[in-house]
A and B are shown apart, each in its own frame.
Chain A
Amino acid sequence: MRPYRPILWFALIAIAVTADVRVPAAEAPPLVAVYGDVVHTMAGPPIEKGVVVIDGGKITLVGSALDIPVPPAARVVRGKVVTPGLIDAHTAVGLTGYLNQDQDQDQLDKGEPIQPELRAIDSYNPRERLIEWVRGFGITTIHTGHAPGALVSGQTMVVKTVGETVDDAVIVPAAMVAVTLGDDARPGDEKKSPGTRSKAVAMLRGEFVKTQDYLRKLDLGDPEKRPDRDLRREIFADVLRGKLPLLVTVNRATDIDAALRIAKEFGIKIVLDSAAEAYLAADSIKAAGVPVIIHPSMRRGGTGETENISFETPATLHAKGISVAMQSGFEGYVPKTRVALFEAAIAAANGLTTEQALATITSDAAAILGVADRVGSLRPGLDGDVAVFDGDPFEYTSHCTAVVIDGRIVSEEPR
């Protein structure tokens, strides 16, 4: 190959010179028509023999293929079942990488117990192989960021599973602040706090009390008394102002109660995450109007705080009228990530209907993440994100045959 190297270099230079017109990003998204024997719009009943038309990256038409003519010049994609691009309501993929070595693990800094100032956008690797992996199964949007494992581990964000930079991918740069209560909030060194559940709650309350003072001083309007800028205070201030919810990872019912108590005391928005024993606290969760991003169905239960997990929790909470989404969660070993589609499938097999289970990874997930005006259902005006399957999306032996994000076909390899 050596004699050809100069030519290769020339080719690279040519690419570099024309780098401003990166082929996939610069071309306008094509006109795409996605046909399905069944189209689950998640904005109404499923449409038999339906079509979704996407133009300029946005959905323009959704309806019966009998009523909507094939647009001339459209790229046509066909499949048995069409759904909105799927949403993984909570993962750490992109901050955590598949090699599981120091250089690709940025989901958790255990240096301090409380670090809400850590931004997810500063650690996200859009080229991480696990992102491509989950996208192949139809996942087009992920809520990712700092993982459970510290009292306040950092921020989360919502991104599309495409893009060469975080700016290409991001929908919501700061979505929530990740809080962990229970055993996993302990730093592992018994000389460091929090060492108990009560201490963890006291520390968190202390932060909010301090932030209330910070806000009070800001509101005085006196430039002399204005507090210095403080990244930590600014984020907690956004939590107190209701701009940023806390994503509280809990499992024991005791810790769920503690999370609801804190939310009530400070009037802040929270989303419960994992919540292995949520079925024990369903009445209080319902009364508080708090949504739950339920642990992966297949999460290793067995021991510790998650020993009582149930395949039926999604159905139990749904029946109570609690808003639920499913997630792939965070895995520290093999497999390095789960796939939200498969986790919702177990929910579909254990008490939820197909439509309800789909909602946990589409419309309901979008609502919980605050992005329902962009993704999660097939309606005109929303992003052109679509997943196509050759059968029931939840069946093990079906394949995801096409994935469309922002009107671009990003995968047609059956997976």
Chain B
Amino acid sequence: MTFLRRSSLTAVASVILLAPALAAQEPTTPSPRDVILVTGRVVTLDGQAPLSYAQVGIAELKAGGQTREDGRYSFTVPASAANGQVVTLTARAIGFKAKSVQVVLSPGLPPQDFVLESNPLQLGEVVITGAGTTSEAQKIGNVRSHVDSSAIQASNEPNVVQTLSAKAPNVTVTSSAGDPGASSSILIRGANTLGRPSDPLIVVDGTPIDNSTTTVAFLDPQTGGPQGGVSSPNRAVDINPADIESVEILKGAAAGAIYGARAGQGVVLITTKKGRPGTTRFSLTSSVSFDNVTKFPALQRQFGQGDDGVSDPCATDPTPDCYATPDTWGPQLEAGVKTYDHTNELYQTGHFWDNVLNISGGNEKTSFFLSGGYFTQDGTVLGPHDYLHRATVRLKAEHAVADNLRIGGNVMYAQTEQDAVQKGFNYASIPWTSWLTPPEFNNNPYLDPATGVHRSYRFPDPSVGSIPDSTRGYDNPYFSAYTSQSTTLNDRVLGNMTIQWTALSWLNFSEALGVDYANDQRVQGEAQGNSQTFLPGGQVLTLNLTHTQFDNNLIATGTYTVNPNWGGSVSVGQNINSRSFQQLGEVGDVLLASTPYSLNNTATQRPPTSYQSYVHDIGYFAQATFDLWDALFLKAGLRYDGFSTFSPSHQYYAFPSASAAWQFSKTFNLEDSWLSFGKARLAYGEVGTEPGPYVSSKVFQANGQIPDAYGGLFLTASQGGVGGLFTPVTEPAEGLGPERTKELEGGIDLGFLKDRISFSATFYNRNSSDVILPIPVAASTGYQLQVANAAEIRNRGGEFTLTVRPIVSKDLAWDVTLLGGYNNNDVLSLRGADFVPYGGNGGFLISYAQLGGSVGSFRDFDYVRCGRGVVLTDGSGNPYNVDQHCTSSQISQKALFISDGTLTNASGVGANPGFPLLDPTQYVVGSPDPKWTGSFSTSLRYKRWNFSLLLDHRSGGLVWNGTHETLNFFGTSAESAKRGTTVTFGQNFMSGAVAGPGAGDAVVLDQNWFQNYYGGISPHSIGFPFYEDGTFTKLREIAVGYVLDERWVTHNLGLSSIEVRLAGRNLYTWSNYSGADPEVNSPGAETGARGIDFFTNPQTRSVVITFTFNR
């Protein structure tokens, strides 16, 4: 029996602290004559409810017991050990403050009852702090962000990463799209890396797991990256959130330093549920959701297909197999012409069904937790190719082999299958093809009634013979939704074995050996007659991805006591980690028959492509704690890491950390005052980020492609059966070490009025140097990039948490929590460059790390404006200095410079009178990072009813509305209906100051304006007008629940309770953003770029009904 119950990891500390208690656990059968019976009942203060699983014991006699479900406990003490002395009897329970009484130990001891107060600050409770170390909550010298299972369950999100949204300040979670299984990313305290993934390390029960996101699209020459293709999952989606007991987010470097060179972006520690001694408990949870899209972009329905106000002959009077214009710049539609709403015609109400069965139980020596879950989601896009299915099984068991030796096993299997529809910039993309369809074109039916072959608005009259060799220009979106397949079928085994051995009363060993193996089989099928590939005959792409990770963590912890005022612990450990990745891709061209999407069913197959990588790490770590006067807690740690990815000449780096926590409320005896708890803390730590593998290797590119300067076209270097090799674009790195993040963090944690109110504030200064990035080198050197430790980034910010529990009583409880955080991100150095493309943002070259700006800054083209020193050419060919023709206020307002028709810019391009001129230079637009983020949550319990609400707010941060910009270009956006209207810049169009010789002139907006001078889709289009403030407030969660435990439930049904819950997810968004949803990131979690809205399937909202049957 242990005294405290936690995960296998926390049990280490439990055993250390209570080692004496364990030593006395000889199984004897005492007779009433030689024992003293200690009994009583433990209840809670607020509800006077019995408290089960509370531990009651006498530490000095190493004796104790546990309460049953009625709150009663009993244990015995050998009479020989009792001589009427005074002993301390202590009752503890998770979530409650421990309470001790002094009793005179003698036969006939009266029942000892305890009333425990809740412990919202978790004082005295053991918290896992990573790599097998633990600490009591009040001793931690850095800010703690803790999320428990109820908060995870309440989110109704299938992806564990998304469940963390709005749960901790400065932990920004972004869902990339509304598709089932679309990746979510976490950014902790701002971006501090450039070339490496910005997501934190995720550790489940002591073993790191893979959370990578891989898009299939790279195999596809057309879509070529995250801007096209489909929304792929991040691999943490394989974990069933219902299995999670709690999550600790190690935000700062001081907290993460125990993980050294893998903790640069923070660490998320997930602890899964475990069994408890006692009756075997069963719990079946069933949920069903109703999901729909929150908002769509606005489209016009007045103008038809064509150009310059003229209908396209192919569209109006189609001849077989002619191509019609993609544009909707035709004439005004005549009255009576039927139009169609293409915003939402491809969308339906989606559903998920989630069923989880938990069985847990055990006895004093052995406990188990067994769960099985099946989650199935049918997304909001029509057709059979928009789903996520996940089947999970977990068994976690622990057994005490001897009093001082516990072993545990925890194994999870998951099969996750996702099928996703095409998005972004590709010609099968559902949003692209539906929102670009002219209003008068009926996309239904998608097969031509006469010929039975695929028809689309750009290819309205297909012949039977057109299938093998004619692309449709763009797919009909229904065709894409019903035929285009992109599946990922992932089988994953994840688990570990743990050993806790208390070798001596003061010395404990803890070992965790874990494995994470995943095999992901992807199949992308493009049907015959598709437009996405340049093979209208169809294509099948397969990709097999295998991730394997072994991790072994061994730690020895010794406790010491120098005197009553000075104790502590020393831990020494070693970690070994090995990761490998294999990928094999094959492409078959031209389907023989229309189905199946199998390589077997293709006419020709291309040579397969493969990739593999292997990374080994070894780390040694040591940590010492000093607990002084039970009020001042000091900790010092050192991690020494060797990575195979570091330069071979210097493979080991040290990462120190130190922290101090001073519980001044104890020093000044304030516990009974209005300030019931006060702690000041200060922490410093260093963490790192390792480079990717093989960047120092000098190799020749095998099976490379020689790209055309325009997207998607290339020749392979191997031709005519001769294998081509060439020098790759990336120069081998030299002397590469880890990125190093040094962070100083200070803060204060306060509890007022017996912890009814708690407040926490934290400030940090986080400096990342030697940031690894592929730094551009002059292409004339023969290379274009070199991976180097080249940048310096600073993040400074603050975080605040305020929790108020105004009412805590048996029938009524109410609490309110406010979270807030701000972060300022500054790029301090880029090794001489002014900006570098950020994070491989897949085709949207608008995100940059900007010197003097931030990571992820947008750069784009703008009109000529005052105050930028622009020099134009006037009609006579003479230089025309813009700022000399602006007033000082126009200069300070960066007034738009309006042409009189004679001026031309540096590229020799002019503008019609009354219109602004284009400036061919890129400027910084701003940052996608919010100024601050916050959330408001509250929960209210009245008898058996409970109610909760979570509001999530993000203030500031730009979003590029590329969808709007592109729809303007093609003439389907609502704004494009302004064509033909007369406007004046600065007055009734594009608000803001204007200057220049043409200022105030009325002009007519036409197709040419919308396509070439206002946005556009070429790499140098004017993008500035399409960056919008992404401020939003979301009603993330709202729920009402009722617990039935009446007699008919407990007796007639044989259950202990039934919980019924009605919840809403993302029900409402308050935002001025003109697009679908400012919470979006088209490239997904893979790239690190943020704030990009480009033809993704919009976010959804849900109503979820949940029944839980407990026994």
Do A and B originate from a single complex?
no
